[in-house]
Structure 1
Amino acid sequence: GNIRQSLGRLLEQQEVQLITTALIYLDLIASTFRIVLQGKANFTEDENHRPDEGSESIHWLIRSFTSFTLFFFMIEIASLIFAFGTRCFWHLGYVADIIIIMLCLSSELTSSESKAIRLLGFLRIWRFARLVSTTLDMAQDQHNATKSCLQEAQQHGEKLRAKVSFLEERNMNEIEHRKEVEKMLQGYKEEVEMLGEALKIAAFDVAGAAIKDFQQKGHVSPLDHEDDEFFDGIDEDRANKDKTTPVITN
């Protein structure tokens, strides 16, 4: 169930595959040195020479390392079979791994002097090919994701530029409209001022004409003498300001 799925995902991770591939090639190198040292030891025995302690120590280290790698490969194969079940046997690479590991284990258990069987690990090169393919696929996926993000950013930038252009155009239109309104209001203001001046002039003219009309007809103004002097003063001031203004008479 969930344990198998989690284990399968763990075994398929790139880091685990990288470690396994590195151990495969290190095992090949160690097995090659082990075969060379074994041949050298056999030659020394034939010559009735005792092997030096340094060679024996190196041989022991290499044998320990190859035993560790074999144990690791057995654990990995058992984990793959547990995680994926019979699907492992439909994968040619895993089938080759199982056969090679079983042959190497048999060689170790029988204490065979010939360890050349360990060199069959070279056939597991498909692991390296899969690792390279996986790395390239991941790089391609990252490239596609970056390209997609870049395209989205460009589209967003184009939308922002279009929005800015629209706002600038609308702002210019509002400025032009405001100028037209201000110009119109200024015209209205001037017209109102002119109308006020005209009304003021007309009021002075009407007042002056009415006073003179009363005086010519001999009507007595209902105002007292002080008021008559006031209106006479207004008439004199108006006459001084605009001597060319005609007097309206009935």
Structure 2
Amino acid sequence: MWRLLRNCKATWTVTALKLQSKQLSSATRPCIQPFNDINAEFLDFRDHVFDLDNGGTLKASILQLSRDTHVFMLCYLHIVMDGISLRTFLGDLNQSYVSPGVSQPASQYLDYAIAESKQLKGQAIKDDLKYWKQQFETPVDCLPLLPFSRVQSRPPLSISKSFTARAFIKKETVARVKECSRQSGSASFHFYAAALQVLSSNSLMVHLTNCASALLMQTGTTTDISTPLDSN
């Protein structure tokens, strides 16, 4: 446990960990008794007050139900770990018991920062900058206004604000969109992005492949939504 905590950056801010072990199984106890003890331990965790002044942000218990059955309970302050961190922590904990010494500690934030700093000084980033400077050597024209726009020009903005337009689609249509997306090996987002691309392209009479590709780059997929989808 202590070795795992040393390798887990999420717990490096902790200077005190209360770890206790309790044996709940007994030949004289009813079978239901251990589970009552587990509930009592859970209630104790719920009412636990963390000693923040002394770094006490974690509390753990190992409850022994039998020789081969144990219950591991972990109580921690919300600033120490989130849900994803807890899943990683429990996975590493299981690995340390199943195959101790096999897995090596993963790269931490400091390692990543050092690697990124070296990358920014290397040739790869210079080649990337050169490429994108060539791509944007000629500024891209602004999209024209849609024909159904209520204004005739775009006023200059002094501040940036976001706008959200909401529309409700019938559940039957949503089901057809999901089925079409499944058949094309894409997600529903790609279908809606393609519909937006077609609407904008037909209304503005401009080619928006680059715009659609930018949307796909943000989702980490290579699906080509510029290809017309089956209307069925």
More strand by share: 2
Question: Normalized against structure 1, the TM-score is what?
Answer: 0.19
More helix by share: 1
Question: Normalized against structure 2, the TM-score is what?
Answer: 0.20
